[in-house]
Amino acid sequence: MNAMELIRRRRSVRTFDGQPLRQEDKEKILRFAETVETPYGLPIVWKLMSAKENGLSSPVIVGTDTWIAGKIKRQPHAEEAFGFAFEKLVLYAESLGIGTTWIAGTMNRPAFEKAMTLEADEVMPCVSPLGYPAEKMSIRETLMRKGVRADSRMDFSALFFDRRFDRPLPEDAPCRDALEMVRWAPSAVNKQPWRVVVDGRQAHFYEKKSKGYQDAAGWDLQKVDMGIALCHYACGLEGKVRLTVSDPGIPLPEDTVYIATMTAE
């Protein structure tokens, strides 16, 4: 199955079937995580953890004991790099039939951070359960999905623009399929903060900021979403794309900031 099929098939899985994750699947996931690269070149430390052994829990996850988490040094672009790498891992898990859910909030964070031996200059943005999806979702999961309209996304015309923010991109643009992959990316509370201005082979990515996702130290969870969007765009172009950070100076709508440019090769 190619990356685009995996992107369309993936959904957050919060109800697992109770079977332990097979040893060979654990090994595959860890091996993949340790080789995953981001276009920012920032290293991430990964760990697979047992909930029982480490006192980990999440009120929204049932039916699996295995979790994966990553930590990264606090530094410019750490959020985007983490989002990019973790989403690659999520899609790889999907290819093995293993369910995941990005979790930044609904967990006992201190227990996870202790299990990750998090240092003061590091951050553990998100974690995910790993397991085999149950046939039926729990009632809580069904309600949660409804609450954030998890099965839908904003319209193409509200997200993607032609050289300027006041011109929606025609739906027959050459990079349409890759942008469609961006549109279906997962994001915190399904806010979909990505906006993209296309100019020839260049796609300029912007974050439309919502209130409450950036802390006093400047850490911004929606930049993790942006990393996921960049990952999906790269998947849509089969990796034949180069990332640069060089603001083209396009006039911006309110609460919108430049993140990166992807140039098709």
**Residue closest to ligand FMN, measured at CB:** 186
Hey, how many other C-beta atoms are within 10 angstroms of the C-beta on 8? 12
Q: Show contacts of 45-53: CB within 8 Å, 24+ apart.
A: 45/70, 45/71, 45/72, 45/116, 46/70, 47/115, 47/116, 48/130, 49/112, 49/115, 49/116
The CB-of-11 to ligand FMN minimum distance in angstroms stands at 4
The CB-of-251 to ligand FMN minimum distance in angstroms stands at 28
Nearest to 12 by CA among 81, 98, 73: 98
The CB-of-107 to ligand FMN minimum distance in angstroms stands at 7
Q: Which is nearer to ligand FMN, 94 or 198 (CB)?
A: 94
* Residues facing 198 on adjacent strands: 162, 203
Q: Which is nearer to ligand FMN, 25 or 80 (CB)?
A: 80
Residues 6+ apart with CB under 8 A from 27: none
Q: Which is nearer to ligand FMN, 188 or 198 (CB)?
A: 188
Q: Which is nearer to ligand FMN, 103 or 169 (CB)?
A: 103
Q: Which is nearer to ligand FMN, 29 or 126 (CB)?
A: 126
Residues binding ligand FMN (CB under 6 A): 11-12, 60, 101-106, 126, 148, 150, 186-190, 221, 224-225, 228
The CB-of-51 to ligand FMN minimum distance in angstroms stands at 15
